[in-house]
């Protein structure tokens, strides 16, 4: 293919998929700070920092007392200082619940629904809420997001091939030559500085689709046959202490409950989520059944636990999130400007009449996907607010949460509408 052919591929991809790609990238950009947004909007998400070690056992007992009849599946340390501990609760056939625990006092401050800003953006960005239809066992929404990741990579490759000597353009932006030259130059400049980010998001985005067809992380070891009882079962603090003593440098970030108790945490390894380092214990006597160290994982298994920090940008706290947010905005803008520039080129080459069909198709497909997303989204959100019998209801969350989500939806739709209006 010639450079001109690659340019046509780049433009065609941008025009047909640019609007939907904007929506996906824009949602992911906001999702970077979704936990912090919840902290600002919901007073229940704020707590005093604990002085000294976390009281795992105290929090565990408080949750069981505050939520009788519910099954505690996992207890999590505060996301960061100023946040509560969080317990995940199962409610039979009903939706899961969260219990929030003040780490300073060990008291449960709220037993609430699973829905919040973080959950909204995670579900939307992950699968556009479209989870009911499946192709090859995978919900359609995941296929759509995987397609957008492929679009990112196709745009990256085609752009580099047709852009002559692109490595010279990192400081090039022509001013004073009209809006067409300016927006084209800005699109190229943002694309060059975002090369690493586009590659990273594209590859990890494709991985989340491929993950449906691949094996998982190592399984928990089986519970051994019951030995002779030597005394009462150890408490949760004792289990955590035993696990951390057996794994020097390990810091517990979460405890999951089942036949075997699992400690999840960090040991100082770079770019891994909390699930990469684990200690499994026998809840009957506190015996250590197994240890999973990130350094002992195969490269493939290590990648499973590295994809999330790379995609979310949360590995370095606020500074890394700020970088991911800034480049997410750039990526969202490139999706819009790329589609707009290609539409204008087609208008100049073939006339306004020839432009209407591809533009209307791009806008129509985006609106159709968003309408499907809205239908599935309403159903999922009402499921979160349902009762133990599975009867749906709107979850009781602060009005500020609803206002923020509504403002984001309105901003997104307004941006798409203004984009269309500019092409009239």
Q: What pLDDT was estimated at residue 354? A: 57
Taken in order of first residue, the domains within the chain and their CATH numbers are 3-37+124-214+317-422 (no CATH), 43-115 (3.10.450)
pLDDT value, residue 269: 95
Q: Which helix (H) or strand (E) holds 160?
A: helix 140-162
> How confident is the model over 229-239, as pLDDT tens digits?
567 889 999 99
Judged against a pLDDT cut of 80, whether residue 41 lies above it is answered with yes
> What percent helix, strand, coil does the chain show, rounded to 5?
55, 10, 30
- Rg of the chain over all Cα atoms, to the nearest angstrom: 25
Which residues are CB-neighbours of 69 under 8 A, at least 6 positions away? none
Residue 7 confidence (pLDDT)? 82
Mind listing the pLDDT tens digit for each residue in 293-321? 999 999 999 999 999 999 999 999 999 99
- C-alpha closest to that of 193 among 162, 160, 175, 170: 170
pLDDT, residue 351, reads 61
Residue 167: burial class (beta carbons within 10 Å; 0-12, 13-18, 19+): exposed
Q: What is the mean pLDDT of residues 223-230?
A: 70
Predicted local confidence at residue 391, as pLDDT: 86
pLDDT value at 352 more than 70: no
Asked whether the beta carbons of 20 and 148 are under 8 A apart, the reply is yes
Q: How confident is the model at residue 201 (pLDDT cuts 50, 70, 90)?
A: very high
- Structure pTM? 0.92
Which pLDDT value is given to residue 227? 61
Q: How many CA atoms does the CB half-sphere of 409 hold within 13 Å?
A: 17
Residue owning tokens 């293919």:
1
- Tell me the two tokens of residue 193: 């500085």
Give yes or no for residue 16 having a pLDDT over 90. no
Question: 286: left (phi > 0), else alpha (psi -120 to 50), else beta?
Answer: left
Owner of token pair 């069981």: 64
Q: Could you tell me the pLDDT band of residue 10, with boundaries at 50, 70 and 90? A: confident
Asked if residue 328 lies in contact with residue 29, where contact means CB atoms within 8 angstroms, the answer is yes
């Amino acid at each position: 293919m010639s450079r001109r052919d690659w340019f046509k591929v780049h433009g065609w991809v941008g025009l047909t998929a640019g609007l939907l790609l904007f929506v996906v990238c824009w949602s992911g950009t906001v999702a970077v700070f979704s936990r912090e947004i919840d902290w600002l909007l919901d007073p229940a998400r704020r707590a005093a920092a604990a002085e000294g070690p976390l009281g795992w056992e105290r929090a565990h007992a408080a949750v069981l007392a505050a939520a009788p009849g519910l099954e505690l599946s996992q207890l999590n340390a505060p996301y960061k200082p100023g946040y509560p501990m969080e317990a995940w609760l199962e409610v039979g056939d009903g939706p899961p619940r969260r219990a929030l625990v003040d780490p300073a006092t060990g008291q449960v401050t709220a037993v609430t629904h699973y829905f919040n800003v973080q959950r909204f953006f995670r579900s939307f960005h992950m699968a556009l809420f479209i989870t009911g239809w499946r192709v090859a066992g995978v919900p359609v929404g995941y296929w759509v997001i995987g397609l957008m990741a492929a679009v990112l990579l196709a745009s990256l490759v085609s752009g580099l091939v047709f852009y002559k000597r692109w490595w010279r353009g990192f400081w090039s932006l022509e001013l004073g030559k009209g809006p067409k030259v300016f927006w084209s130059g800005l699109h190229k400049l943002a694309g060059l500085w975002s090369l690493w980010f586009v590659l990273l998001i594209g590859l990890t985005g494709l991985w989340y689709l491929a993950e449906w067809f691949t094996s998982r992380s190592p399984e928990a070891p089986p519970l051994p046959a019951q030995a002779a009882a030597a005394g009462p079962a150890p408490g949760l603090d004792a289990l955590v202490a035993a696990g951390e003593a057996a794994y020097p440098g390990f810091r517990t970030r979460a405890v999951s409950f089942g036949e075997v108790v699992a400690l999840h945490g960090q040991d100082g390894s770079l770019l891994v989520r909390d699930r990469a380092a684990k200690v499994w214990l026998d809840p009957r006597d506190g015996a250590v059944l197994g240890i999973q160290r990130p350094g002992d994982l195969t490269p493939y298994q290590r990648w499973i636990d590295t994809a999330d920090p790379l995609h979310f940008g949360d590995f370095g706290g606020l500074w890394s999130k700020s970088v991911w947010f800034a480049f997410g905005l750039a990526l969202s803008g490139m999706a819009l400007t790329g589609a707009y520039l290609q539409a204008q080129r087609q208008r100049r080459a073939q006339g306004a009449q020839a432009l209407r069909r591809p533009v209307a198709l791009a806008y129509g497909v985006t609106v159709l996907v968003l309408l499907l997303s809205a239908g599935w989204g309403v159903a999922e959100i009402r499921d979160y607010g349902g009762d133990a019998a599975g009867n749906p209801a709107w979850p009781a969350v602060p009005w500020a949460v609803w206002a923020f989500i509504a403002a984001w939806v309105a901003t997104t739709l307004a941006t798409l509408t203004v984009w269309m209006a500019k092409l009239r």
